[in-house]
């Protein structure tokens, strides 16, 4: 019972941080480990990326604004946390230990961790990986992939603010 309460508190704590921000949560090795550890009665979508120019990941820099659109759309449409999903970004500069532990040699990598306990739990709580082999993806493509792997029910739609600067 105490483990269940602790898991629920973990979601509530990070969900309040998520909705108070303007983009997905910024993770480091510790917060990544905390949020992806089992038991989990929520889902976590984590973008593992390498944004600094010295890493030379153009795809990472191209995709980041799209990832932010997905995260902001979720914040806007799921303030109460009815769909128990958190969004986060782990940059290589903040998560070298995690990248090494997962033996990652490339970025970006999007992982979706399903719940491991509760009604929505999957028998195999291993993370799902999004395929970036076709190059940069749109927020809509990633959003569709994520909701395909979530329990049935209403999900927030993608919201793109009007770009008044565009010519």
pLDDT tens across 16-68, in order? Answer: 888 887 779 999 999 999 999 999 999 999 999 999 999 999 999 999 999 99
Distance from C-alpha of 21 to C-alpha of 162, rounded to nearest angstrom = 20
91-120 pLDDT per residue, tens: 999 999 999 999 998 999 999 999 999 888
Q: How far is CA 8 from CA 38, 40, 89, 109, 165, in A?
A: 12, 8, 21, 27, 42
User: What six digits make up the tokens of 116?
Assistant: 């491991």
Distance from C-alpha of 72 to C-alpha of 92, rounded to nearest angstrom = 22
pLDDT given for residue 89 in this prediction: 97
- pTM here? 0.88
């Amino acid at each position: 019972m105490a483990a269940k309460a602790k898991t629920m508190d973990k979601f509530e704590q990070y969900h309040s941080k998520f909705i108070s921000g303007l983009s997905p949560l910024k993770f480091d090795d510790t917060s990544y480990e905390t949020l992806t550890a089992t038991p989990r009665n929520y889902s976590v979508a984590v973008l593992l990326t390498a944004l600094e120019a010295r890493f030379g990941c153009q795809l990472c820099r191209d995709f980041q604004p799209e990832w932010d659109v997905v995260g902001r759309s979720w914040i806007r449409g799921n303030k109460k946390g009815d769909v128990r999903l958190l969004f986060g970004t782990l940059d290589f500069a903040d998560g070298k230990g995690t990248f090494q532990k997962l033996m990652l040699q490339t970025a970006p990598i999007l992982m979706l961790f399903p719940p491991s306990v509760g009604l929505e739990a999957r028998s195999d709580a291993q993370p799902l990986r999004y395929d970036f082999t076709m190059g940069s993806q749109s927020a809509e493509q990633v959003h569709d992939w994520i909701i395909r792997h979530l329990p049935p029910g209403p999900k927030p739609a993608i919201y793109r603010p009007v770009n008044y600067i565009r010519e």
